[in-house]
Chains A and B, each alone.
Chain A
Amino acid sequence: MSERLLQVRGLAKHFQGLRAVDDVSFDVARGELVGLIGPNGAGKTTLFNCVAGAIARTSGDVEFQGRSIAGLDPGRIARLGIARTYQNLRIFPDITVFDNVSAGAIGRLGISLFGTLIPGVGRKRDEAIADAALAALERFDLLSFADQPAGNLAYGQKKHLEIARALALQPTLLLLDEPAAGLNDTETGELASRLRALRDAGLTILLVEHDMPMVMRICDRIIVLDSGRKIAEGAPAAIRADTAVRAAYLGDEP
């Protein structure tokens, strides 16, 4: 029986009269790869931001591993095991690839000023950080770029770096915001297989995407938003044929 890892209940976010997210509820079970799709302006990224704690929700609740995380600050939520990436690719361009990824590992394992000042104290923790960072880099074939400034990487590699950094957090739930944006066919294929491999290894993934072929191919289940509301939910084939989904993307029947 799959545990319900994430439970979103009646989540709403209003901005000055605009209902960006309007009474959305859904579950994500442990080990699932769920896609969150919908036309432009449907509220997908806003939903992500609410779950990750980046913005305050207006109403509704979000439960993670059985406890409410609504209202917690993003740092706390990250340390609880939810990692995220961004739609517009936010890596740290001026520091090395290794330093980018280790930032994620530091976030989970913690760091102390005292431990840093005294040589010897905190050595074990430092090794754990390094190991987590290296493991994440290896997973995405970025090990050979470790000492290069992250800004030097090609766009596709930067996208992978952002995911690797999120993985260094060793999260239980991974939120990916348009990971395939800007990638060509080959890169998208690589991304798809990597994501599937991560899911097979036990990671739960919720991703926002516009690349339909990829979403249909790899997701176990798809949730569709339109104008802030959930309009459909189910297996890829069912979603593709769903009239409400077609109407959302292509417009209503005349």
Chain B
Amino acid sequence: MSRNRVPVRLAFALVLLALVPALLAWAGSPYLGRLAQVVLVAIVLTGALNLLVGTAGLLALDTVVFYGLGAYAAAILSVNAGTSFLTNVAVAVVLTSVVGAICGFALVRLTSIFFAVATMALAISFHTTVLNWGDLTRGPMGYRGIPPVSFFGHSVSGWLESYYVTAVFVLLALFVMHRVVHSFYGNAARAIREDEECALSLGLRTRLIRVQIYTLHAAITGAAGALYAHSNQFIGPDNFVIFESALVLTGVIVGGFGSLPGAVIGGVVMVLLPEALREVGNLRALLFGIVLFLSILFLPRGLFSEVRALALFRRDMPKSPWARRRPPP
């Protein structure tokens, strides 16, 4: 097996930043541009959920809660207080981190199935609150007129620029997630996932690590929400129904539990698949059910399993002492 440094990450970044928009510019279709952006956001959401469901092993349906919190925070602030894009993102991250830490602390003690149900309850309560707290969220009408993404006075115009902003955000998010998953920290989380009691007897701070991962997942998802609000310039309660959480979860499962490359693939598949089968229309839910079912049946470890992903990134893991001392194969 060749020991060449396959610059996976570099290649990926190049593709995202240069090739895709070049292709899109050539195709000249704003629709495709928007689709590409949706794919990128899906990648972040799937990756963030994968931290919780895959690496930490806590099945959850609360993506929409933090996505929505981030989005509404950005919308409400920017429209009512005129704050800048970056400020809104920062506030979204802080807000979702705090809420995430509180929820995480409260929920993490629950055993798996109860935890999952509790996150479902959170998602449903969130949607209901958004729908009914008209004074704050403008209820079913949704929030329109959100100012576009802007950096230091320059407003993003056109879908190509918007795409670049999203791509940079995604790369940052992926970098953070990569550092968490492909490290000894990720290893600790996986050990806790495999056998919590045993991990505890090895001295691992199981509760703390789980709460930290929950908070991180909330923060990344919240940031994505803020970005979405500004990119789309309109958000509504319909964007944050529990079904959307289920979609993201499907992406995690199809791509591969605990695998970051898998989450990326899962996110892409989840967005592109229904696009490719547009005639399906209202049968979207059925389609996802079938995909999920087939996936679990035939590819339980996903399209890109965690084992493969960890092997791929092994040289990145903080163990160059390990790499140096490893006996030759």
A–B touching in complex (CB under 8 Å): yes
Contact with A along B163-203 (1 / 0, CB 8 A): 00000000000001001100111111011001101111111
Q: Which residues of A contact B299 (CB under 8 A)?
A: none
Chain A residue with the shortest CB-CB distance to B203:
A107
Q: Which residues of B contact A119 (CB under 8 A)?
A: 179
Q: Please report the C-alpha to C-alpha distance between residue A131 and residue B184 in the assembled complex, in whole angstroms.
A: 13
Contact with B along A84-123 (1 / 0, CB 8 A): 1010001011111011101110111011110011010011
Chain A residue with the shortest CB-CB distance to B324:
A130
Q: Which residues of B contact A100 (CB under 8 A)?
A: 191
Contact with B along A149-191 (1 / 0, CB 8 A): 1000000000000000110010000000000000000000000
- State which of A60-68, A74-82, A196-204 sits at the interface with chain B: A74-82
Select one of A104, A113, A127 contacting B185, CB under 8 A. A113
Give min CB distance, B146 to chain A, whole Å: 30
Q: Could you say which interface size class chain A belongs to?
A: 35 or more
Interface residues of B (CB under 8 A from A): 176, 179-180, 183-188, 190-191, 194-195, 197-206, 209, 212, 216, 306-307, 310-311, 314, 318-322, 325-327
Counting residue pairs across A and B whose Cβ atoms lie within 8 Å, the total is: 119
* Besides the known contacts A106-B188, A165-B202, 14 further A-B residue pairs in the complex with CB atoms under 8 A apart: A75-B200, A78-B201, A95-B190, A95-B194, A99-B187, A100-B191, A103-B187, A107-B199, A107-B203, A116-B180, A127-B320, A127-B321, A134-B321, A134-B322
Q: Which residues of B contact A107 (CB under 8 A)?
A: 199, 202-204
Q: Please report the C-alpha to C-alpha distance between residue A127 and residue B320 in the assembled complex, in whole angstroms.
A: 8
Q: Do B200 and A130 have beta carbons less than 8 Å apart?
A: no
5 shortest interchain CB distances as A-B pairs: A107-B203, A126-B318, A78-B203, A92-B194, A103-B191
Give min CB distance, A240 to chain B, whole Å: 33
Would you call the interface of chain A mostly helix, strand, loop, or mixed? Answer: helix
Q: Please report the C-alpha to C-alpha distance between residue A236 and residue B201 in the assembled complex, in whole angstroms.
A: 30
Q: Do B314 and A147 have beta carbons less than 8 Å apart?
A: yes
Q: Which residues of A contact B187 (CB under 8 A)?
A: 95, 99, 102-103, 106
Q: Which residues of A contact B212 (CB under 8 A)?
A: 113
Q: Which residues of A contact B191 (CB under 8 A)?
A: 92, 95, 99-100, 103, 106
Q: Which residues of B contact A78 (CB under 8 A)?
A: 200-203
Name 29 interchain pairs, CB-CB below 8 A, sorted by A.
Answer: A75-B200, A78-B202, A78-B203, A86-B198, A92-B190, A94-B194, A95-B187, A96-B310, A99-B187, A99-B191, A99-B310, A100-B191, A103-B187, A103-B188, A103-B199, A107-B199, A111-B188, A113-B212, A113-B216, A116-B180, A117-B176, A126-B183, A126-B318, A127-B320, A127-B321, A130-B321, A133-B322, A134-B321, A143-B327
Q: Do A75 and B203 have beta carbons less than 8 Å apart?
A: yes
Give min CB distance, B101 to chain A, whole Å: 12
The listed residue with most A CB atoms (<10 A of its CB), out of B186, B200, B202, B212, is B202
Q: Please report the C-alpha to C-alpha distance between residue A94 and residue B307 in the assembled complex, in whole angstroms.
A: 8
